[in-house]
Chain A
Amino acid sequence: MKWFRQWAQKSPWILHYNAGSCNGCDIEILAALGPDYDLERFGVLNRGNPKQSDIFLVTGPVTYRSRERLVELYTQIPEPKVVVAMGACTATGGVFRGMYNVEDGIDTYIPVDVYIPGCAPSPQLLIDGMAKALEIWVQKSRDIEKPHRLFGGIRKTLHYLDRRTMAQTLAQSKEKEPQ
């Protein structure tokens, strides 16, 4: 099902969250979605719904008020998911770093996969970051444990047998081992 996997990576849907950004990055995102850069030609859609999104695109330095929402939204995105931190503020806090009401970047709270530097990053950089994020997304979708698939039962049984054989071998080898 190689073609299937290839198809699957051609449809990254993004959830864009503004965690206290100055809106510079957001304007760049809109520019990237517009006619000039046309992110949609890669299948990108801005869903606005975590449950149907693959890429969590965050802008802003994470203000004090927004951090709970940030974590909540992150947990609501089903796996496999990739977090993209867009802009300097999102990576480190940027010009807001050290302020009393700012949490200095999103990686204090959620794991980040791709950092896009710049204040604000250009649409080209954003597209580049998206490509990188997709690579990671594909990797993650391979690695992810999928508890429920069609024929999952067979897989689970095989897996179980496999593990049992391993355990037996291990036990046997332990028995053989001299004290």
Chain B
Amino acid sequence: MLLANLRWGKNVEKMRPIIAGVFTKSISIFVIKECYTVSMQTLLFFLILSPWIMAVGYLVVPNRGVLYGALALLGAGGLALFDTTTSWQLSINETIVYLIAFLDALLLGYFVWVGYRVRHWGVVALAAVQIVMFVLIEVLLGHGEGALLLLREASQWMLLIINGVGALIVAFAVVYIEAEAVDAVQKRRFVAYLLAFMGVMNLLVLANEVMLFFLLFELTTLASFVLIGFRDEEEARANALRALWMNQLGGVAILGAVLVAYAQGASRYIDGWVAGEASLLVVALMMVAALIKGATMPFDRWLLGAMVAPTPVSAMLHSATMVKIAPFMVLLFAPAFSHTALGGMMLLMLGFSMAFASYRGLQEATLKGVLGYSTIALLALMMLLALIDTPQSRTMALVLMLFHAMGKALLFLIAGVIERTLHAKRLDAMQGLFSAMPWVMLGAVGALMSLTLPPFGAFWAKYSAIVALAGRIDGAAYMVLVLASVIIASALLVLLYFKLLSLFFATQNPTQRITLSWGYSVPLMFLAAGALMASVLYLAWGAYAYVAWGLLALLVVLLLLVAWLRLGFDRATVYGCGERTSVTWSQNFYSFGVDIERSFTWLFGAMFVAFLVMATLLGVSL
């Protein structure tokens, strides 16, 4: 049979050159040609340094045209790097070690000062603990021989996501922030922060020396703190501080991991740790940092609090940067502990977190809240795929990261557009938006579908998660629970997304059309086109080629059908029992009640503690 020939994942490796090839050669061919002629190392240094240069440049000369050009170069650089397959590394030297130590000390001092300024003693205490641990590490630990920076496969994907999607978000943010009620310098600083954030991320996904990794990890914390607190309001300040201390916990966990690694005689290089130098306790501590960054369930509050920030910040945090560190870290460390009991415990945590986050999203009343919980759920899925650690599931984790970045960025930017044009944040104020801005809403519908349904990448991730978990189910009864929660979560996510979709259509009277300025619409178009092309290319790769052709044929048929329908049929009004009254729509929130939610929170806390206890026992016994 024809369908029986469709085997899964024959040509995983073929995908990257195809996506990259078509992107690079068709979209921005002349920019890329420049990049091809330069060496890999130059390209990497360009990616690492140019966001900083752009940030400073925009502070000094806020020229929008120049910035757009530079952003296009940056995105093209990410794409060009994605096209290559060679590995690359940069060895460590004495100067850089001291520089890192100096910057670490500076950053921790700044945290103490921030905590002291707002009298938040938790931040101060955490920073103090970090300083003590940091001093211990600097005194005790020699730096040895190893790679400071290392280009891995996952890094290439991350660089594509950060620079490709991130550049579009920054391009959007430049226009978005114009309407903000702050002075011109603040506006420039906002854009500069976003760019600097990209720079930090570009370096972070390459870092191999753990103190550099810690520095960058805490720098993303700092960047998110500054950006969340950008609107100088009570709530913004409180949420920024919450994000700060929660992520500082992650920093403490990383320093703890370094100390434990030292006690057990391991080096300070991540590739060495993964190769077997480090005990499970070290890996577990790194995973704690990942779980906090990824806002996995007991730690979800900082990410939801981040919604008070201007919308491009949410887009940046959710799609291109920050939270994507979590699946990236799991991808790095999964080989070290995937098949241990600890890995099983973490799978369970991630599965439950995914299910509960998608349920919890149903009760949110703001668009950004719904999107936030859906991010948490999909992040858990990414980490889960990374943790299963088969070649196929690793690739699918990366594919999901890419598709999620594009889809979520598109949705957040649309939320930003709605906020700017209609001044609406709550879902009930967004009823019937489809008639007001049909194209934008079509993009939103497409993005929502791309996050759940075939034939988009997020669906393939969901599918291969089920397949991979079923492959490991034999003899492991707890895997049934993980599987069940992934399945339930995917059903709940469909409900969540289509609940959103229903609101966009819910009106009887067509409202005034809203036109968007090109500064808003062009990034949206690029993201939508990118998501669409990536899905078609993904299908066109290898065994799915005929599916792609079938889709194209279907598209042609659909267009013909639209023409036929437009010409051929009379229009009727909707049925309303013969009445002609106007109706108002309301939403469902599908809640089981607060008690159950609270008990779930306790469950997640208990699971987290159990994870730590397990890690300690396993780590000590090693």
Q: List residues of chain A with CB under 8 Å of any chain B CB.
A: 17, 49-51, 68-70, 72-73, 76, 78, 148
> What's the nearest-Cβ distance from chain A to residue B123, in Å?
63
> What's the nearest-Cβ distance from chain B to residue A8, in Å?
20
> What's the nearest-Cβ distance from chain B to residue A41, in Å?
28
Interface presence of B575 (CB below 8 A): yes
| Alpha-carbon distance between A73 and B576 when the two chains are bound, in angstroms | 9
Lowest 4 A-B CB distances belong to which pairs? A69-B578, A72-B578, A73-B578, A148-B568
List residues of chain A with CB within 8 A of the CB of B573: 76
List residues of chain B with CB within 8 A of the CB of A148: 568-569
Q: In the complex, how many residue pairs between chain A and chain B have their CB atoms under 8 Å apart?
A: 22
List residues of chain B with CB within 8 A of the CB of A70: 578
Q: Is the interface of A mostly helix, strand, loop or mixed?
A: helix
List residues of chain B with CB within 8 A of the CB of A49: 575
| Alpha-carbon distance between A73 and B569 when the two chains are bound, in angstroms | 20
List residues of chain A with CB within 8 A of the CB of B580: 68, 72
> What's the nearest-Cβ distance from chain A to residue B574, in Å?
9
Interface presence of B577 (CB below 8 A): yes
Q: Is the interface of B mostly helix, strand, loop or mixed?
A: loop
> What's the nearest-Cβ distance from chain B to residue A23, in Å?
18
List residues of chain A with CB within 8 A of the CB of B568: 148
Interface presence of B234 (CB below 8 A): no
| Alpha-carbon distance between A23 and B579 when the two chains are bound, in angstroms | 21
Closest to A78 in B: B572
B579/A76 in contact, CB under 8 A: no
List residues of chain B with CB within 8 A of the CB of A73: 578
> What's the nearest-Cβ distance from chain B to residue A79, in Å?
11
List residues of chain A with CB within 8 A of the CB of B578: 17, 68-70, 72-73, 76
B577/A76 in contact, CB under 8 A: no
> What's the nearest-Cβ distance from chain A to residue B508, in Å?
15
List residues of chain B with CB within 8 A of the CB of A78: 572
CB-CB contacts below 8 Å: B277-313 with A: none
Closest to A50 in B: B575
Closest to A52 in B: B575
B572/A51 in contact, CB under 8 A: yes
| Alpha-carbon distance between A30 and B577 when the two chains are bound, in angstroms | 20
B569/A69 in contact, CB under 8 A: no
> What's the nearest-Cβ distance from chain A to residue B168, in Å?
44
| Alpha-carbon distance between A51 and B573 when the two chains are bound, in angstroms | 10
Contact with A along B571-589 (1 / 0, CB 8 A): 0110101111000000000
| Alpha-carbon distance between A8 and B282 when the two chains are bound, in angstroms | 75
List residues of chain B with CB within 8 A of the CB of A68: 578, 580
B575/A69 in contact, CB under 8 A: no
| Alpha-carbon distance between A73 and B572 when the two chains are bound, in angstroms | 12
